[in-house]
Chain A
Amino acid sequence: MTAALARAVRPPETSRPPLDLPRPAVAATDLTKRFGRLPVLRGLSFAVKPGRITALAGPNGAGKSTLIKAMLGLVRPDGGTLAIDGVPVGEDPGYRARIGYMPQLARFPENLTGRELVRMLRDLRGDAVPEDDELFESFGLVAELDKPVRTLSGGTKQKLNAAVAFMFRPSLLILDEPTAGLDPIANGLLKAKILQARDAGATVILSSHVLSELEEMMDDVLLLLDGRVRFQGSLDNLRRATGHQRLEAAVAALMRLRGG
């Protein structure tokens, strides 16, 4: 049983998608990265399906943050390929115009106001698209925009962080622990916004430690363990393969198969 299960969840050897599938929003082949002598990514191959919400899961140190930073061009992989919308991530920063990034920790220049921050990002991106202000309004940020960021509470900064990620209507949203530090109401608003973005065609990748919190909204799971892909596929497949209905139990079952 255990061996059969391990076979079932082992990632495919090559990640080249069949030709009849839509082009993956993010695709990696044999992606490797080491920091000094410490290997962090040890040959990742996966494909993130477009227009779906993919949860990037895994224990601390599995390589989630490094993978996110590689997608953003913040970390340069040592080997393998990584492509966003079929375009290899490289020297040309243009592909990042399609990405909305919400970092785990929101820290902005202390003496700028929220409005100045928004203006700066708008300037840097030079996008012509009409901006999406919905989160600014639903989060009640509009009244806070003229205060220096230094005076805002941690939760308000996190709301600003989220609103900025959605502002430019990105086709790929990368959200790192998006619900950390948000109150339940803001949390609900953000979840609704994520679903709305997906229904409008955007691809969403979100990483979270508290999987149960986001379980109801995820379509696919990409589980990393020790710098490798432990499972990729739909949430339903994960449940079927492990026999567990709850995501956390399913992931725990997979992690027990370490080395499988």
Chain B
Amino acid sequence: MTTFKVLKFQLRDLVRSRWLLGYTLLLLALTEALLRFGGSGPRAVISLLNVVLILVPLVSIVFGTMYLYGAREFIELLLAQPVGRPALFAGLYTGLALPLVVGFLMGVGLPFLWAGPGEGSGSGSIGLLLAAGSLLTLVFTALAFLVSVLVVDRARGLGLAIVVWLGVTVLYDAILVLVATTMADYPLELPLLGLTLLNPVDLGRVLLLLRLDAAALMGYTGAVFERFFGSTLGTGVTIGALALWVAGPLLLGMRRFVAKDF
């Protein structure tokens, strides 16, 4: 199994990466601080959610593209071996995404673990927070792959990665709010709902807030979302949409990886 062989050695490489260690320690410190000083109950989880929604996509897409551009010559050497491209791609993706997911789970999960239950707001919402962060890691690593196979130039690729991150974390919501306020006289609930489904970061937010009964805290789209779907169906739909956000960029990236010239 080529995929597994590549994955195995890439894990060994990344586990020793100082960047990955730094990321885990940063999450650990932030989580610990928020748990101690950010109050208990849903408030701590919501504060943490906002950190996770900004930091996880940023680190996943930037670290991912940097790693892939840095590994370009090595990937060429691997391609010169008797291995197929799809299997190699699968190995490279899992080898990159898995350490990032594990780093995230450790950084955010461990403080909750040693704080014990009762802190935070019950294991359900923590589990959802961990799930949302893990899914976002998978989404943005897939986007990192897509960027690195589409853009040859390293600086441009890194720039595009940051633009993508800015787009989904900051610009998208700003535009959504702008649309909602300027067209407040029209029935915009369903279109806005659709637009929320198009943004992975919003999906991560919705996933958690539906469960925290704090839908009102996320403003307009959150309220619409809860009214339309209710908690259970809403959770299913958001997870499904996030899965599509993993699969879409990944399949596009794989197709390009298989066809492209190195």
Contacts and interface: CB of A to CB of B under 8 A. Distances in A.
Nearest to B78: A124
Contact of B14 (A106, A111, A148): A111
A112 interface: yes
Range for the number of chain A residues in contact with chain B: 20 to 34
B82 interface: yes
A198 B82 CA distance: 22
Given A69-B261, A109-B71, A124-B2, A74 B14 contact: no
A76 B186 CA distance: 53
Contacts of A95: 82
Interface string A61-74: 00000000100111
Interface in B168-190: none
Contact of A124 (B6, B13, B15): B6
A124 B83 contact: yes
A108 interface: yes
A166 interface: no
Interface of B: 2, 5-6, 8-10, 12-17, 70-74, 76-85, 259, 261-262
Interface of A: 35, 69, 72-76, 93-97, 99, 101, 103, 105-112, 116-117, 119-121, 123-125, 148
Contacts of A93: 81-85
A37 B81 CA distance: 30
A109 B9 contact: yes
Residue of A74, A103, A148 with most chain B CB atoms under a 10 A cut-off? A74
A4 B136 CA distance: 68
A101 B80 CA distance: 7
Nearest to A107: B73
Contacts of A74: 76, 79-80, 261-262
Nearest to B14: A111
Interface pairs A-B: 5 shortest CB-CB? A111-B16, A107-B73, A109-B13, A97-B82, A74-B262
